[in-house]
Chains A and B, each alone.
Chain A
Amino acid sequence: MTTLIIIYSLVAVSLILSLIKSKEKTKKAMNVAGKAFVKTAPSLLAVLGIVGLTFGILDEQTISSLVGEEAGFSATIIAAVLGAITLIPSLVAFPLAGSLLRSGATVVTISAFITTLVMVGMVTAPMEIKTLGTKFTILRNSLGFLAALLIAAVMGVIL
C-alpha cells in the first residue's frame, strides 16, 4: 500500500511540475507513456496468463517442491541459467517472481533468477559484441553470472 502511495504521489508531483513548465511536453510524455504501455501490454498479458495457469494447475505444494527448499541447489542453478538466457522485461518478471516467492520458493532461487535476468543477456550478446567487442561482452556477462550466483547466496543468508 505504501509503495502505491509513494508512486502515485511521485506521478502527481511530476504531472503538476510538467504541466506548469509546458503543456506540450506533458502531452508528449503521456504519448510516450501510452506507446510504451502498448508495446509492453502483450508481454504483460502473457505473464498474467502464465501466472494464472501456473497457480491454477499447480498447487502450492507442487510449486515449492519445484523451486522451494526441497528442490535444493539444482533448482537455483536452473533458475540462474533461465534468467541468463531469457529476455523477459524485469517489469514483467517481478510479479511472477513475487508470486513464486509467496508460494514457497526460496529467496536464493528467486534472487538467482532475477539477478541473472538483469545482469546477463544472452539474447542481447550479439548486439553487445557488435558494438563493444567479443572480449568486453564475454567478460561482462560471465563475471555478471558469477556475481549473480554470489548475490543470490548472500541474499539467502541475509533474508
Chain B
Amino acid sequence: MKRFTLVFLILAIFIALAIFAPATAEHSSLALWDYFKEMALIMPPVFLLMGFMEVWLPKQNVQKWLGKESGFKGGVLSLILGTLPTGPLYVAFPMTASLLRKGASIANMVLFLGSWAALKIPQLMVEIKFLGLPFTIVRFSLTLAALIVIGLIMELILKHDKKKEWMQSDLELQGMKPDEMQPQGALEGDR
C-alpha cells in the first residue's frame, strides 16, 4: 500500500483541483491523457523484452565470463553485460564485489556498474522515444567515454590501496561464503 501513497496524494490534488479550479484540472487531465497514450504504447514491449532477457540469459555464467582474463575483451564484455536488463543497481553491487575478489579489474567493474546504471538497452529505447535519437546517441557515447576514464583513474588510485575493502563483504561477515551470493530477485525493485 505504501507504494501507492504518492499516487493517492496526486489523486487527492486532482480532486481538489476539480472542485476549486476546474479549468486547471481539465488542463492537467488533458496533459495526463496525452502522456498516458504515449506510455501505454511503449511500456508493454519494454517490459516483455526485459522478461525475455531475464529468462534466456544464463545469469550464473556472468561471473565466469568476467573472471580473470579481463583485458580489452573483458572491458567490452563488462559493458555488454551491464547494458543487458538484469535488475536494479543494488543487485550489481554484490556481483561486482565477488567479481573483484575473483580478480576482475577495477576499470572493468566501474564500466560494468556504470553501464548497468546508465546504458541499459530497454531504457535506451524509452530514451529514444521521449528524448530523441540524437540526444540518446550523444549521451550514450559521452557516458561510455566518461566511464572508461573514471575506471582508469580509479584503477590507478585504488591499485595501491592496502585496505581493499571489497575483499570483506558484509555477507562474509555474516558467515556466508561468497559463492552463495547468487544474485537473485533481479527486476525486483525499480532500478
Contact = CB atoms under 8 A, between A and B. Distances in A.
Interface of A: 3-4, 6-8, 10-11, 14-15, 18, 25-26, 28-37, 39-40, 42-46, 48-57, 87, 89-92, 94-95, 97-99, 101, 107, 110-111, 114-115, 118-119, 121, 124, 127-128, 130-136, 139-140, 143-144, 147-148, 150-151, 154-155, 158-159
B12 to A, nearest CB: 10
A130 B97 CA distance: 10
B93 A139 contact: no
Given A32-B54, A51-B32, A89 B190 contact: yes
B146 interface: yes
Nearest to A10: B49
Contacts of B4: 42
Question: For the complex, would chain B's binding face be called helix, strand, loop or mixed by DSSP majority?
Answer: helix
Interface in B1-31: 3-4, 6-7, 10-11, 13-14, 17, 24-31
Interface of B: 3-4, 6-7, 10-11, 13-14, 17, 24-33, 35-36, 38-39, 41-52, 54-56, 89-90, 93-94, 96-97, 100, 106, 110, 113-114, 117-118, 120, 122-123, 125-131, 133-135, 138-139, 142-143, 146-147, 149-150, 153-154, 157-158, 161, 163-166, 169-170, 187-191
A94 B38 contact: no
Nearest to A18: B52
Contact of A132 (B47, B52, B93): B93
B126 A52 contact: no
